[in-house]
């Protein structure tokens, strides 16, 4: 588990969605979207996060089911990035 990557992803989510909170307030397994989410993110936020991920990590999320799974929590997204054949680098 790469804690630096997870913290970086949390900050990316906060920045992309214009939220005013500390990255440490988001748990790795916290639900990011829907009625159970403390962040109250919606579909527009998902689009903004996807675009930020594409820009920073050069990872395009094209499959809607896979995108929903990856963006459900920071842990899923971090695990996916960690398991890519070539390690992602910040742009």
Which tens digit of pLDDT belongs to each residue from 36-82?
A: 888 889 999 999 999 999 999 999 988 889 999 999 999 999 999 99
Beta-bridge partners for 33: 41
Residue 34 domain-assigned (yes or no): yes
Crossing angle, helix 43-57 and helix 3-17, to 10 degrees?
A: 130
| Residue 69 domain boundaries | 3-82
CATH classification at residue 36: 1.10.1200.10
The per-residue pLDDT for range 70-86, each reduced to its tens digit, is: 999 999 999 999 998 86
Q: Is residue 9 part of a domain?
A: yes
């Amino acid at each position: 588990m790469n804690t630096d990557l997870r913290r970086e992803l949390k900050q990316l989510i906060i920045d992309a969605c214009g939220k005013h909170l500390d990255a440490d307030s988001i748990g790795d397994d916290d639900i990011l979207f829907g009625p159970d989410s403390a962040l109250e993110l919606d579909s527009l936020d998902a689009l903004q996060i996807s675009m930020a991920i594409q820009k920073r990590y050069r990872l395009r999320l094209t499959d809607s089911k896979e995108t929903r799974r990856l963006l459900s929590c920071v842990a899923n997204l971090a695990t996916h990035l960690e398991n890519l054949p070539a390690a992602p680098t910040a742009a």
